[in-house]
A and B are shown apart, each in its own frame.
Chain A
Amino acid sequence: MTAPLQFEDVALPGLGSRITLEVPEHRAVVVTGPEASGVDALPGFALALARPAAGRVLLFGEDVANLSRRDALAFRRQVGYLPAGDGLLHNLSLRDNVALPLRYGSDFTEREIDGRIRIMLTLVKLADAPDLRPADATDEQRRRAALARALAFDPGLVILADPFDGLTTRAAAELLELARGGETETGSRRTVFMTGQSIPQLLEPRVEVRYRLAQGELVRDA
């Protein structure tokens, strides 16, 4: 079976080196590396928000960078994306931020969206703070809301950029479990691809495949 996400001989920005990497289905995969290692560019390449100088990235077997703008946007709605920082819209409440992808990209009624949002907010423990604006929320609340937004469509693949920065290990563990979406016989229900400078050591057993990117080399951790 084709892996949901494949990096084929992709050139890292600012470095001469290239990497090849597969994110298998029902697995959590993390690539960590220092700031200038090019690790930050991988989520953007995965979603074709940026194009690598060489190589290609296949998302569900499709080279999204070759799609028209319209098709690429529609394709990305199959994937949950948590950008670095959180990327919440500051003029919307946390609830409206979570609702945005559903309101824009689905034919659900407002009532159905409302129900779905309530479940998502409860799952990420924001049921008591749905009307907060991002500027009034804590870092952890914002990250929780951003994850709820990424999972709003219940995607099969989730891409998380720097998901645990500034979080306690406990909060990070909760978010990782939510991203995994439960367990199946073959592994996590969702495929999870994460990048960042590091992940808390306690979470390592919950991430099946771990890579480290250093000096242009992708090394798989034992």
Chain B
Amino acid sequence: MTAPVAALGQGVARSIALLGALARFSFLTLEAARWLPRAGRRVAFRVLLRQVWFTALQALPLILVLSSILSFLVISQAVRELGRLGATELLGRLMVIAIVRELGPLITALAVAGRSGTAIAAELATNKVMGEINALEGMGIDPLHYHVLPRFGAAILSVLGLIIMFDLVAIVSGLLAATANGMVPARYFDIVLASLALGDVWVTVTKGLLFGIIVGTIPSFQGLRVRGSPTEIPVAASQAAVGSIIAIFICSGLFVFLFA
């Protein structure tokens, strides 16, 4: 009779313990950043560049395809439907709120979490299983400096940069869709630019930073949490993706709630 309640309680307790461990990991990472040795900064910067190459530049084609198709489909439909109602000026708000502010950051962060988050978790878990983390510590090199901080920085830069690219391409793709459906390009730009406020830009940038922190932290945490068995590697990758996606959706929801 009490077994389901006990199981539920254990699940909640495990989740709270996990959140506590994640918070401790984030705190230790931030603290480690304060005493990164001068020479270590150069090493960490090299790792950061490699990670940006993988997370941002290699993901760019995927983001551009997603952005252009999504924007083309939404704006094509919207121009036709809003035109029938004589409300084409709402197209600007639709573009800014739905695509630039909401879907752009959300889809970009989900793509990066799915693509790079799992890779980061799997790579760090493999390093741990292969004894590389232990070797680094034995040599006096902090794995937080060598592995986590560069990935943390690279994830923030990459997510932010990719969101900007997503939004720019979405606006251009929206132009093509609007023009294909009979709208004059100058009118499209007037509507979109008139709808774009500084607040929208800030919300988008803040989301980019926050989603970048999520994608940089949760996969690193999950990757370094493994104890040493190879079977833990896919589990860590999967948990990193699931954890990041949930965190991204929760944050996105909070933004809607706070800035509605």
Does A128 touch B at the CB level, under 8 Å? no
Contacts of B4 in A (CB 8 A): none
Which residues of A from 26 to 55 have beta carbons under 8 Å from B? 43-44, 47, 49
A138-179 contacts to B (CB < 8 Å): 149-150, 159
* Pairwise interchain contact A90-B132, C-beta atoms closer than 8 A: yes
* A89 & B127 in contact (Cβ 8 Å cutoff): yes
Whether the pair B39, A87 counts as a contact (CB closer than 8 A) is no
Contact A77 B132, beta carbon cutoff 8 Å: no
B40 CB contacts on chain A under 8 angstroms: 104-105
Determine the chain A residues whose CB is within 8 A of the CB of B37 once the complex forms.
104-105
Residues of B with C-beta under 8 A to A150: 139
Q: Is the CB of A87 within 8 A of B138?
A: yes
CB contacts (< 8 Å) of A108 on chain B: these are 39
Asked if A104 contacts B146 (CB within 8 A), the reply is yes
Query: Which of chain A's residues 65-91 have a Cβ closer than 8 Å to chain B?
Result: 69-70, 73-77, 81, 83-91
Please tell me if the beta carbons of B135 and A104 are within 8 angstroms of each other in the complex. Answer: no
The answer for the CA separation of A149 and B132 in the assembled complex, in Å, is 13
Please indicate the chain B residues that have their CB under 8 angstroms from the CB of A159 in the complex.
Answer: 138
**With known contacts A87-B135, A88-B135, A106–B141 Cβ distance under 8 A:** no
In contact, A100 and B139 (Cβ under 8 angstroms) = yes
> Residue B142 at the A interface, CB < 8 A?
yes
What count of chain B residues pass the 8 Å CB interface test? 24
- For B146, list chain A residues within 8 Å (CB): 104
Once bound together, how far apart are the Cα atoms of A82 and B89, in whole Å? 69
For the complex, is B140 an interface residue (Cβ under 8 Å from A)? yes
Do residues B140 and A76 form an inter-chain contact, with CB atoms below 8 A?
Answer: yes
Q: Give every chain A residue within 8 A of B38 (Cβ-Cβ).
A: 107
Interface membership of B62, Cβ < 8 A: no
Mask, B101-136, CB within 8 Å of A = 1, is 000000000000000000000010011001110111
- In the complex, the answer to whether A87 meets B141 with C-beta atoms within 8 Å is no
Is A76 a contact partner of B132 (Cβ separation < 8 A)? no
In the complex the two chains form, what is the Cα distance from A77 to B40 in whole Å? Answer: 13
B131 / chain A contacts, CB cutoff of 8 Å: 83-85, 87
Chain B min CB distance to A36 (Å): 17
Interface check B137, CB cutoff 8 A:
yes
Contact B135 A103 (CB under 8 A): no
A101 interface hit (Cβ, 8 Å) = yes
Residue of A nearest to B142 (CB): A73
User: Are B127's CB and A100's CB within 8 A?
Assistant: no
CA distance A85 to B133 in the complex (A): 13
Interface centre among B43, B130, B140, B145 (most CB of A within 10 A): B140
Q: How far is the CA of A124 from the CA of B13 in the complex (A)?
A: 52
A75 to B123, CA, bound (A): 28
In the assembled complex, the CB of A38 is this many whole angstroms from the nearest CB of chain B, namely 17
Residue B42 at the chain A interface, CB threshold 8 Å: yes
Q: Which residues of B contact A149 (CB under 8 A)?
A: 139
- List residues of A whose CB falls within 8 A of some B CB: 43-44, 47, 49, 69-70, 73-77, 81, 83-91, 100-101, 103-108, 149-150, 159
By a beta-carbon cutoff of 8 Å, the part of chain B in contact with chain A is 35, 37-40, 42-43, 123, 126-127, 130-132, 134-142, 145-146
Q: A47-B138, A87-B131, A108-B39 are in contact. List 11 more A-B contacts (CB 8 A).
A: A85-B130, A85-B131, A87-B135, A89-B135, A90-B130, A100-B139, A100-B141, A104-B37, A104-B145, A105-B140, A149-B139
